[in-house]
Structure formats: C-alpha cells, structure tokens
Chain A
C-alpha cells in the first residue's frame, strides 16, 4: 500500500512539473496576466527576494541564460548552491566530500545566506 501511494505521488508530481514547465514556456510573465504577482510588491511597491523568479524561469526554458540571471540573480546563485550541495551527498564522492558538504551547510552557511538574502533584498530596491 505504501509503495502504491508513493508511486501515485511521484506520477502526480511529474505531471505537475511538466504542466508548469509547459505553461512557463508558452507564456511570458511579462506579457500575460495570468501569473500571480508578488503580494509584497503589490502592497508596498518594493521587490521581495523572490521577485522575478517566474520571469527567470520563463527565460531559462527558452535558453536565454543571461536574461534569466538578470531577472533574479539570487535565485541562480542559490539554485546552484542547492544543486551542488545535494549532489555532494552521493556516497561515491567519499567522506572528504561529505565533510566539505557539512561545512558548506553549517553555521557559517546559514549566516551567509541570511545576510546575502537580506542584502540582495535591500540592494535590489535601492538600485
């Protein structure tokens, strides 16, 4: 029973991701009204750390990496960080890699990201 449930969830997730990819590929958040806007931006007029991620996804799906990066650089840096640290969990890389991963996801990493997110947030609204 447990296994069937997991498979069902996995299939649903794949369908969902494929549908989202299709929507973000076909429609441009800059031109279409159907995409939800950031609540914080609508109310205060200031961008939040995530603003532009829908546009970034659209450009990424079209292979325009530079434009995608410009929409939300933090998303790119964070995305690469997450992808690399998860990849480092593979046992194949050995204990040294695991040790490096632990230091990359430890106290200093938490502090770094807290500061980076807030700094990016302030700077993107000032400039």
Chain B
C-alpha cells in the first residue's frame, strides 16, 4: 500500500495500467531499431573511431602530442575528467538521495540517469589513464601492488591516489545499484519472450535477470538491499567530487588553495549532471514516445534542482572573489583578478553567463515548463560547467610564480580528439543501452500506479 496524498496528481499520465507499463517499455527492447537510431549510432561510431585514432597516436608517441607545456601541465585532460565525473553525479543522486527522501518522481528517470552516470564515469577515467603515458604500467602507479621498482608502495597521502579509490568505488557501486534495479525488468522481458516463443532472447534475459522469480521473500530482501545501497551511495556521491576537488584544494597553487572547493564542486557536479540528464531524457522521451512517463512535471522538478545548484555555484564564485580580497594574500588576489580580466577573461565570462545567469531564467514558470527552452538551457549549462573547470585549472596554472615561465595553453588536434573520443563512446553506449535495456524502471513505475483503494477517492 502506497501512502500518498490523494490531492497530488498521478506522476504517470494517460491512465496507464500496470500491463501498459510492461508493454510500452518492453516494446522498445523487442522491436528492431529505428532508422533514426542507426543514424545516431553511425555518427557516434565515427566520433569514436576518430577519437581512437587520436588516442592511439598519443599513446604511441607520448603526451607531447597534447598542447601541454612546462607551465600548464594540466589542461584539457583534467578539465574533461572533472567535467565527466561531474556529469556522472546525477544518476546516483537521483536514485539514492531521492530514494531516501521518498521522492517518487525519480522513478521514471532513475534508470536512464544511472546508465548515464556509469558511461560518464568511464569517459572520465579515460583521461587520467591516457595522461599516465605508459598506460600499461598504470597498475603499479595507481594500485597498492608490490612491484619491482623497489618495495615502494603507493602514496596514501596523495589526493590523486584517493581519486583512484573514489572513482573506482563509485563506478563499481553505481554499476551494482543500476544492475540491481535492472534484474526484475530483465525478468519481464524474459517472460514476454517465453510467451512470444523467442527461445534465445528468453535465455539471454533470464541469465541477465539471474533467474529472478519475483517471490515475496525475494522482493523483501531486494527492497532491503536497495535501501542500504541508497544509504551507502549517498555519502559516496558526496565523497567522490569532494575528493576530486582535493586534487586542487590540497595544493598550494593560488586559485586552487581554497577550503570551499568540496561543497562547491559537489553542487557544480549535481548542476551539470541534471543538465545532462535533461539533454538526454528530452531526446529519449521523444524518440521512444515516453511522454506519459516523463512528464512536464518531471522536467519542471529537475529544473528547480538546476536553479538551486546553479545558485549555490554562483554564490561560490562570488565567495572565492570576496575571500581572495579579504584574505589579503597578493598572489591569491592576483590569481583572481587575472581570472576575470587576464588573457583568459573570455572563458571566465563565458562561465559566469552560462552558469550563474542562464539558470536564473528557470524562475519563470513558462521557461521551466517549456521543453525547447529546457533543452537549450541544459546544453548551455554544460558548456558553462566545462568552462568552469577550464578556468579553475588553466588560469591558475598559466601565470607561474616566476614571470619568465608565464605561458598560454593552446590545444592540439589530439586534445580535441580525446574529448571527441569520450563523446563517441558516451553516445554509443547510451544508444546501446536504450536499445537493449528497458529505459524506465518498470517495477518501480508499476508500484506507483494507483491501486483500487486510492482510485475510490
């Protein structure tokens, strides 16, 4: 029995029954992919192949192929890393934190958002891996393995090592959480395949569902596991971007050496993650005709989260400036004035416009309930968040302690190529997910379809 207010409107529109849910969602998996899907997949594959080419050259010849120099030793690689990890925050936030807060509107969007999280984290991890140069030795540098370089262990005092643990744990736990949610839905497709007489499909989906039976005892355990995974994932989500921000905050570089980085990075991550979820879901909902499951109400609620996190990020930018002035450290003051008015002024103002001003438009109800403006703003927010990381990283590095080593960063084709690689991978993976996996959590959505006792009101 679901306890919910009879005043609140149903989250699923169109008078759907429990049977309709299985039919609407499974049909996408059972049918042949559309022409549009093949076109999108083709384009993504081309991007991926170009990226693989650039990556291979970089691995063969070394990271000198990138535009890095002695002063700016970190640029697009870490910018893209932080950007993708940030995007990867929305999925687990939606499924874990909103589960603990009993926000039922998460149910239509959590599956796709979690899939996005997993693919985004893979994209993110590729940058530090490629930046290692000799990737195949990375195990010894990143994991506490005894090695032949002397019995020298990894440095557990380093935030870069904390990142290894944070990102790999986050990836594993998100993957497990996502897969747990998929198990009952794979069983739906299996049983439909048995009824339709598709033997192979039934066997494949049965294997993927681990022989799910749907018994009351299994459901009871399953719900307990889901709740605990949510409880574990909640601090985990917050810890991941906190640790990513430690990469900068624990250093002594002016512009990085800031104590507000952890909460500021986490808010920024949720901000960009929700923007990416909106970009992808608005397309998915249109292509797969899921208008009754992902309604304007869902879009509006996500836009409200964007206003909240966007405003936190805006306040963080202003606080940084204030503290630089108030702290009276000349190097820190210079770093911030250089950020806004130095040679990279354009990236700073691009970030300010996209991240601080544009989400404020969502205060207007017409804009936050319009699909077109939401789609456009969601892309603008992600451009802004990319520039935020670029501003923090490159503008803090390019003016070194000695003016003789001051320099600029100019990306090469290989910098761009590896960014394109991750886009190619991300969209290929998302398209494959949308074709072979149920894009909406059927079991959860079925549980919020009103039962007889609620219909009487």
Is the pairing of A and B real? no
